Amino acid sequence: MIIADDEKQVHNVTKYVLNNFSFDGKKLLFLSAYTGKEAKKLVDANSDAAIILLDVVMETSRAGLDVARYIRKTLKNSFIRIILRTGQPGEAPEESVILEYNINEYKNKTELTHQKLFTTLITALRSYQDLITIEANRKELEIRNIQIGNMYDQLQIEIAKRKEKDKFFSIIAHDLTAPFQPLLSLSKTLASKAPTYTSRQIKSSCDLYNDVNKKTIIYADENMLNMVIRNLISNAIKFTPQGKSIAISAKPQGKLAIVSVTDTGVGMSQEKVEGLFRIDVNSSTRGTDGEIGTGLGLIMCQEMVEKNGGKIWLESELEKGTSVKFTVPLDSISIVDEIEMVDIDVEIEIETEVFATKKQLIPPPPQEMEMLYDFAMSGDMDGVQSAARYIAKLDEKYIPFTEKLMILAEEFDDDRILKLIEQFM
């Protein structure tokens, strides 16, 4: 408690009267100021003081009022209880003083007997205690609100990240477990696999060539590069009508090799192109034969190309075709063999087969059947195989059904897979 009065006797009497005073088991600690200036310093240095007994008239007739204004207006201390005391009430009318300076008590010194001073202090301390409790609760609530807000923001970030990861891995999950073909035998692989690449009736003419000198060496992860090329070729086939061509080339430019996969398909608008490498934009497009994709293939390719120190971009024009290009460093690893020109002209006839009856093959639940159907409709044989392996683990009774699917998937026979699934749906 601060006692601010220019009369030393007032300090002594107040301390004597309140010597045995206690509140909540705590005794009072007295701080004395004899001028308004000293009072301001004490309040400044002891912002947690509960009460100030403040004389109005000290070095000036309004020194105490200046202190009260300093406490409330300058320090913005609304907690300390101000008990204004004066021996000259005419100098400052009670009503105006209390209203203007937010005084908690206004007493004439002659009124403050021992009992009245005791009662006044008890009331003031209870009021101070309530204010401090309210303020502590307010601060705690404010902190909790901030914490909740931060947790909510972090949760939204994590949800967004999880959605991005789930969406991204939905396309690469089966690619990561698929067998890799060596980069050096890319043309031979394409030539040998072309007749079984899809079971749909297609007629494609693919010119595969490489302009890079056979002594040129590149630095890249072979498996990642194969996944990129495989994805780009799959997209090119999906969006190229029958009878059109797809070209694959590689050309050196400075310290980089620019690899391109160019189709003569339907092409796309600039607006569509701009959203292809954004995971938050749905870029799924149906192929010329109605194939459904996730729209994430290029995002996967971008991730892998960048991990190998390259960049990927796309050039497209409606009704003319699309060219996807990416770079890989020309440095060291292995010599790229010269790729022979391969002309592929394949026409595949769909065979029909009467499958086993429902009694012989037990299909999985509808949800798993829909998953298989989606993979088969999009021509994703790796996805069919991954789903079949998963279903086989659910229950042994599904194994004959999944084994049948695995055989058809290895033959890239999506039409027969669809026919099998439709029998049980």
The model's pLDDT over 334-349, given as tens digits with 9 standing for 90+, comes to 333 333 333 333 332 2
Q: Cα(295)–Cα(167) distance, rounded to whole angstroms?
A: 10
Same domain, 31 and 109: yes
Same domain, 381 and 417: yes
Is 218 part of any domain?
yes
Is 34 part of any domain?
yes
Structural domain boundaries enclosing 316 = 183-345
Is 291 part of any domain?
yes
Burial of 243 (0-12, 13-18, 19+ CB in 10 A): exposed
Same domain, 19 and 116: yes
Same domain, 292 and 398: no
Which string of DSSP letters, residue by residue, matches 404-419?
A: HHHHHHHTT-HHHHHH
CATH number at residue 247: 3.30.565.10
Which residue in the block uniquely carries the two structure tokens 């070729």?
233
Same domain, 381 and 280: no
Task: Find the range with the poorest average confidence among 64-73, 279-288, 380-389.
Answer: 279-288
Same domain, 219 and 248: yes
List pLDDT tens digits, range 86-123: 876 555 556 776 777 788 888 877 777 788 888 889 99
Same domain, 113 and 216: no
Residues 6+ apart with CB under 8 A from 234: 297
In the chain, count H helices and then E strands.
13, 15
Q: Cα(402)–Cα(386) distance, rounded to whole angstroms?
A: 10
Is 234 part of any domain?
yes
Number of domains in the chain: 3
Is 35 part of any domain?
yes
Of 72, 107, 132, the position where a domain reaches its end is 132
Residues 6+ apart with CB under 8 A from 362: 397, 398, 400, 401
Same domain, 340 and 382: no
Same domain, 118 and 231: no
Same domain, 313 and 202: yes
Cβ(326)–Cβ(314) below 8 Å? no
Taking alpha carbons only, the member of 284, 287, 265, 264 closest to residue 276 is: 284
Burial of 263 (0-12, 13-18, 19+ CB in 10 A): buried
Is 156 part of any domain?
no
The pLDDT confidence band at residue 75, using thresholds 50, 70 and 90, is very high
Task: Find the range with the poorest average confidence among 49-58, 151-160, 243-252, 343-352.
Answer: 343-352
How high is the mean pLDDT of the chain? 76
123-156 as b/e, with b when 16 or more CB fall inside 10 Å? ebbebbeeeeeeeeeeeeeeeeeeeeeeeeeeee
Is 95 part of any domain?
yes
φ and ψ at residue 252, rounded to 5 degrees: -75, 145
**pLDDT at position 195 over 90:** no
Whole-number pLDDT of residue 158: 82
Higher pLDDT, 392 or 281: 392
Of 345, 379, 414, the position where a domain reaches its end is 345
List pLDDT tens digits, range 175-186: 444 433 333 334
Whole-number pLDDT of residue 287: 53
Is 158 part of any domain?
no
Of 345, 377, 412, the position where a domain reaches its end is 345
Q: Cα(47)–Cα(132) distance, rounded to whole angstroms?
A: 12
